Amino acid sequence: MTGLAGVLAGHKAPGVYRWHAAFGVSDVQHTVEHAGWRFVGLDGWKAQSKAEFLEAIGDAFGFPDYYGKNFDALLDCLRDVGSYPEDPDHASGTVLLWDGWGTFAREDEQGFNVALSVLSQRVDENEAGRFTVLLRGDGPALDDVPSID
């Protein structure tokens, strides 16, 4: 987990990264939480459309009932990550592990690009807390997304 370890230790900037590691989700969660970060796992294999993605990410984060399931609402709720009851007050940041992202990217390229833009915007807003997205699994080429490996 070398690249991820660098992010967790503050040696590598939070960001949106491709990740090719085959560690089990529970192992990744343990590593992230042991470092004092919040872990959120998103099963992208079940989210092939914009609506399915917005539903799945809301469920993964435990967004409140007022979450509007659109991209503006997603960004608003992501800015509040850290203020929900299940978030530890001491969390150093949040790691979103998005397994199977390629399914959405292939089925709805435009929707995926907007989702990626929203997640990237949240990464850039450090005042809301550090935020890293790991896109794990196969998918189309993403020239603007570096590998963390």
Residues of the chain with pLDDT under 70: 1, 82-91
Q: Is residue 45 part of a domain?
A: yes
Six-digit token pair at 60?
A: 């993964």
For residues 37 and 24, give the distance between their C-alpha atoms in angstroms, rounded to a whole number.
Answer: 17
Judge whether 144 lies within some domain.
no
CATH of the domain at 120: 3.30.370.10
Answer yes or no: is 59 within a domain.
Answer: yes
Q: Which domain holds residue 79?
A: 17-136
- Alpha carbon distance 39, 32 (integer Å): 6
User: CA–CA separation, 129 vs 100, rounded Å?
Assistant: 25
At residue 85, the pLDDT reads 47
Does 10 fall in a domain? no
**Is 33 strand, coil or helix?**
helix
Q: Which pLDDT does position 126 carry in this prediction?
A: 76
Q: Is residue 1 part of a domain?
A: no
From CA 54, how far away is CA 46, in angstroms rounded? 11
What integer pLDDT is reported at residue 45 of this predicted model?
Answer: 92
- Tens digit of each residue's pLDDT (9 = 90 or more) over 78-105: 998 865 445 555 568 999 999 999 999 9
Count of structural domains within the chain = 1
